[in-house]
A and B are shown apart, each in its own frame.
Chain A
Amino acid sequence: MEEAMIEKIKSTFSTAIKNISDPHELITLEVDSNKIIEILQFLKQDPEMGFNYLTDICGIHYPENKGSELGVIYHLHNLVKNIRIRLKTFISSDQPHISTATKVYPGANWMERETYDFYGIIFDGHPDLRRILNVDDMVAFPLRKEFPLEDPNRKDKKDEFFGR
Chain B
Amino acid sequence: MAHIQLKDELEKETITLNLGPTHPATHGVFQNVLEIDGERIVSGVSTIGYIHRAFEKIAEHRPFYQITPLTDRLNYCSSPINNFGWHMTVEKLLKVQTPKRVDYLRVIIMELARISDHLICNGILGVDTGAFTGFLWLMEEREHIYEIYEEVCGARLTTNFGRVGGFERDFNEIAFAKIKKFIKEFPPVLKEFEKLFNRNRIFIDRCVGVGAMSAEKALEYSWSGPILRSAGVDYDVRAMNPYSSYEDFDFEVPVGTNGDVYDRFMVRNEEMWQSLRLIEQAMDKIAKEPKGVFHADVPEFYLPPKEEVYHHMEALIYHFKIVMGEIPNPATEVYHSVEGGNGELGFYLVTDGGRSPYRLHFRRPSFINYQVFAEMSKGALLSDAIINMSSLNIIAGELDA
Which residues in A have some Cβ–Cβ distance to B below 8 Å? 23-24, 26, 28, 52-56, 58, 60-61, 73, 75, 79, 82, 84, 86, 105-111, 114, 118, 131-135, 142-143, 147, 149
Are A133 and B401 CB-contacts (below 8 A) given A56-B346, A58-B361?
yes
Q: In the complex, how many residue pairs between chain A and chain B have their CB atoms under 8 Å apart?
A: 90
Query: Are the C-beta atoms of B348 and A118 separated by less than 8 Å?
Result: no
Cβ of B334 and Cβ of A110 under 8 Å apart?
no
Within 8 Å by CB of B241, from A52, A82, A111, lies A82
The answer to whether A133 and B222 have CB atoms under 8 Å apart is: no
Q: How far is the CB of A71 from chain B (nearest CB, A)?
A: 9
Stretch in contact with the other chain, from B52-60, B109-117, B192-200: B52-60
Query: Which residues of chain A are within 8 angstroms of B382 by Cβ–Cβ distance?
Result: none
A26-B335, A55-B222 in contact; A149/B350 too (CB < 8 A)? no
A23-B332, A56-B348, A58-B348 given; A106·B400 CB < 8 A: no
Also in contact, A132 and B48, with CB within 8 A (given A53-B219, A109-B371): yes
* Residues in chain A near residue B240, CB distance under 8 A: 79, 82
Q: Is the interface of A mostly helix, strand, loop or mixed?
A: mixed
Instruction: Assess the A55–B344 pair: CB atoms within 8 A.
Output: yes
A35→B144 CA distance, assembly (Å): 54
With CB as the reference atom, state the residue of chain B lying closest to A88. B333
- What are the residues of chain A within 8 A of B363 when measuring CB–CB? 55-56, 75
Q: Which residues of A are found within 8 Å of B370, using beta-carbon distances? A: 110
Residue of B nearest to A84 (CB): B335
User: Which residue of chain B lies nearest to A28 when distances are taken between CB atoms in the complex?
Assistant: B333
Given the complex of chains A and B, what is the CA–CA distance between A24 and B235 in angstroms?
A: 22
Q: Which chain A residue has the least Cβ–Cβ distance from B348?
A: A58
Is A110 within 8 A of B348, CB to CB?
A: no
By the criterion CB–CB under 8 Å, are B332 and A133 in contact? no
A24 is contacted by which of B223, B332, B368 (Cβ under 8 Å)? Answer: B332
For B334, the closest partner residue in chain A by CB is: A24
In the complex the two chains form, is A133's CB within 8 Å of B400's CB? yes
- The interface bits of chain B over 210-244 (1 if a CB of A lies within 8 angstroms of the residue's CB, else 0) are 00000000011111000000000101000011000
In the complex, chain A residues whose CB is within 8 Å of the CB of B337: 55
What are 27 A-B pairs at a CB distance below 8 A? Answer: A28-B333, A56-B368, A58-B348, A58-B359, A58-B361, A60-B359, A75-B335, A82-B241, A86-B335, A105-B220, A106-B220, A106-B221, A107-B220, A107-B221, A108-B222, A110-B367, A110-B370, A110-B371, A111-B222, A111-B368, A132-B48, A133-B49, A133-B400, A133-B401, A142-B54, A142-B57, A147-B57
Using A84-B335, A110-B371, A118-B56 as known contacts, say yes or no to A54 and B222 having CB atoms under 8 A apart: yes
B368 pairs with A110, CB closer than 8 A? yes
Q: Which residue of A lies closest to B221 (CB)?
A: A107
Q: Which 6 A-B pairs have the closest CB atoms?
A: A107-B222, A133-B49, A58-B361, A110-B371, A107-B221, A133-B52
B361 pairs with A149, CB closer than 8 A: no
Within 8 A of A (CB), among B127-147: none
**4 other contacts beyond A61-B359, A107-B223, with CB at 8 A cut-off?**
A24-B92, A24-B333, A107-B220, A107-B221
Instruction: Report the nearest B residue to A147, measured CB to CB.
Output: B57
Query: How far is the CB of A118 from the nearest CB of chain B, in Å?
Result: 7
Find B49's partner among A53, A54, A134, A149 (CB 8 Å cutoff).
Answer: A134
Would A23 and B333 count as touching, CB distance under 8 A?
Answer: yes
Contact B57 A134, beta carbon cutoff 8 Å: no
**A53 close to B222 (CB less than 8 A):** yes
Residue of B nearest to A61 (CB): B359
Residues of B contacting A86 in the complex (Cβ-Cβ under 8 angstroms): 335
CB-CB under 8 A from B235, the residues of chain A are 53, 79
Decide: A107 near B335, CB < 8 A? Known: A56-B346, A149-B57, A149-B58: no
Chain B residues, CB < 8 A from A24: 92-93, 332-335
B117-129 vs A, CB cutoff 8 Å, 1 = contact: the mask equals 0000000000000
Chain B residues 322-376 with CB under 8 Å of chain A are 332-335, 337, 344, 346, 348, 350, 358-359, 361, 363, 367-368, 370-372
CA distance A28 to B332 in the complex (A): 12
Map CB proximity to A onto B368-401 as digits: 1 under 8 Å, 0 otherwise: 1011100000000000000000000000000011
Which of B52, B58, B93, B335 has the most chain A CB within a 10 Å cutoff?
B335
